[in-house]
Structures are given as C-alpha cells and as structure tokens.
C-alpha cells in the first residue's frame, strides 16, 4: 500500500482512472435508462473499491462522478414512478 504517495503517483492514478471512465462510460447526463445507470454505478463502485484496496487512494472527482450518476438514477426513477402512477 502506498501511504506516502508522491504527487506524481497521485497524478498518474488520477490520469489512469480518468482514462478508464472516458473510454468506458457515458457522461451521466447522456444516460437515458435505469439499467445503463445501474451498470455504470456498479462499475464505478468496483473501480473505486479497487483503488482503495490497491493504492489506498481514490481521486476525489471519482466520488463526484458517482454522485452525478446517482442523481441521474434518482431522476429516472422519479420519472418512471410518475409515468407509472399518473
């Protein structure tokens, strides 16, 4: 585990994490269905957990991205609920 990680190492991990999300994820605002959002949330949680376990470090923006996906998820749930019970 890297307890005393250099700024260079942190920047490298952040860059790797950002490249992973750019290649594999759509922006939260572009997601249009619950299954897609659930998949991204699950994958992002797995990646965050991996970074916590392997490096004892997770870029702060990763949690912000997760919050954005959760907001879209809640919005889609609310829309589905209104459509089903309106």
> Quick one: pLDDT at residue 3?
60
Contacts of 33 (CB under 8 A, 6+ apart): 76
For residue range 50-72, list pLDDT tens digits in order: 999 999 999 999 999 999 999 99
For residue range 19-49, list pLDDT tens digits in order: 999 999 999 999 989 999 999 999 999 999 9
Q: Which of 37, 69, 63 is CA-nearest to residue 51? A: 63
What pTM did the predictor assign?
Answer: 0.86
> Quick one: pLDDT at residue 2?
46
**Helix 34-55 to helix 7-24 angle, to the nearest 10 degrees?**
160
For residue range 4-18, list pLDDT tens digits in order: 789 999 999 999 999
């Amino acid at each position: 585990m890297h307890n005393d990680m250099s700024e260079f190492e942190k920047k490298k991990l952040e860059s790797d994490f950002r490249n992973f999300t750019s290649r594999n994820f759509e922006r939260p605002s572009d997601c249009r269905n619950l299954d897609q959002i659930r998949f991204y949330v699950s994958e992002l949680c797995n990646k965050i957990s991996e970074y916590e376990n392997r490096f004892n470090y997770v870029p702060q923006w990763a949690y912000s991205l997760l919050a954005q996906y959760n907001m879209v998820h809640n919005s889609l749930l609310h829309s589905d609920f209104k459509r089903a019970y309106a």
